[in-house]
A = this chain, B = another copy of it.
Amino acid sequence: MTAARYDVLGIGNAIVDVLARTDDDFLLRQNMRKGAMTLIDEDRATTIYEAMGPAIEISGGSAANTIVGCASLGGRTAFVGKIKDDELGRVFAHDIRAAGVAFDTPPAFDGPSTARCYVLVSPDGERTMNTYLGAAQDLHPRDIDPDAIAASAITYLEGYLWDPKHAKDAFLKAAAAAHEAKRLVALTLSDAFCVDRWRDEFLGLVRDGTVDLLFANEAELHSLYQTADFDTALTALRREARLAVGTRSENGCVVVSREAVLAVPAAPVERVVDTTGAGDLFAAGFLYGLSQGAGHERAASLGALAAAEVIQHLGARPETSLKALAQERGLAK
């Protein structure tokens, strides 16, 4: 195994977020599940956009946010995801490259437009997401470069990849290439309803060792093990996963390995503005920490720090250097 060229390579849906503040009545009227991610078609996208208030556009996508977070911490990173060659596609490509991330996936020149996620942010900071997958659906196994995967210490995948038709195969090709090169494969479960859709397959990935490291929040773990009890889910997870992190919002996280169950507190937050990207940025800190040889506690603290930064402003990408923040807190050199 040669030295890694990338600390973390992420594969996910390449999405531009369209964010607007809302009240909870709007969610009710639009029949939206508060806090969830719902897949929508182009007609529904048009209906939602026409009904929602003035918005701002910020690049998003779960794994993409994570990778930008890793880069902001100082990591060497790459991202794989499908945009179309249109205005929002160029916005996505600009933003991720400007963050220092290698992004070489060829864009689609025809077919549906670049994916958009209509994010409604409630007064309490909770976000409700409606995703039109568009061009992201066209991520194919041929977009996976096994050499890039082999050159990455960790390959990180989002559970949302299970939704587009060919992305699942791209996911499996990447995981195989990573393991072939004796690298780590990490997965986030993404969303409780995504777990509802793909529960058995996700459990299979954990059980058969396709995934070395699993990220999940409480709702996702409850859905994965079909239990309302967090400790029951955690016990099951500990039996099945090599390494996993259960995130619990303001209650911090629990790192679960065969050796230990380690609770790490959340980082202090002055005011929650928008929770979009909280889980993505937690993963960024944890993955970056692992890639630098940090122990689980420091890696989880880096995750908590990155998550705390992103929920204090609109959008799911860090607004400040996470490396500088981590240095201030003594979590990085």
Which A residues are within 8 Å of any B CB, using their own CB? 20-21, 49-50, 52-59, 68, 86-88, 91, 94-96, 98-99, 113, 315, 317, 319
Contacts and interface: CB of A to CB of B under 8 A. Distances in A.
A320 B57 CA distance: 18
A96 B95 CA distance: 25
B54 A95 contact: yes
A54 B49 contact: no
Nearest to A59: B54
- The secondary-structure label for the interface of chain A is mixed
Contacts of A87: 86-88, 113
A20 B98 CA distance: 11
Contacts of A21: 319
Contacts of A56: 56-58, 315
B99 A54 contact: yes
Nearest to A19: B56
A20 B87 CA distance: 17
Contacts of A91: 55, 57
Contacts of A54: 59, 68, 94-96, 98-99, 317
A86 B88 CA distance: 11
A29 to B, nearest CB: 15
Nearest to A52: B98
Nearest to A71: B54
B55 A95 contact: yes
14 contacts: A21-B319, A50-B94, A53-B98, A53-B99, A54-B94, A54-B95, A54-B99, A54-B317, A55-B91, A56-B57, A56-B58, A56-B315, A57-B91, A86-B87
Contacts of A55: 91, 94-95, 98
6 closest pairs, A vs B, by CB? A57-B57, A87-B87, A54-B95, A54-B98, A56-B58, A53-B98
Contact of A49 (B88, B94, B96): B94
A57 B94 CA distance: 12
A10 to B, nearest CB: 16
A103 B87 CA distance: 23
A315 B57 CA distance: 12
Contacts of A96: 54
A81 B236 CA distance: 60
Nearest to A318: B54
Q: Which of A54, A98, A99, A315 has the most CB of B within 10 A?
A: A54
Contacts of A99: 53-54
A107 to B, nearest CB: 14
Q: Which of A59, A86, A98, A319 has the most CB of B within 10 A?
A: A98
A13 to B, nearest CB: 18
Contacts of A57: 56-58, 91
A23 to B, nearest CB: 11
Nearest to A90: B49
A203 to B, nearest CB: 36
Q: Which of A21, A50, A94, A317 has the most CB of B within 10 A?
A: A94
Contacts of A59: 54
Contacts of A95: 54-55
A55 B86 CA distance: 17
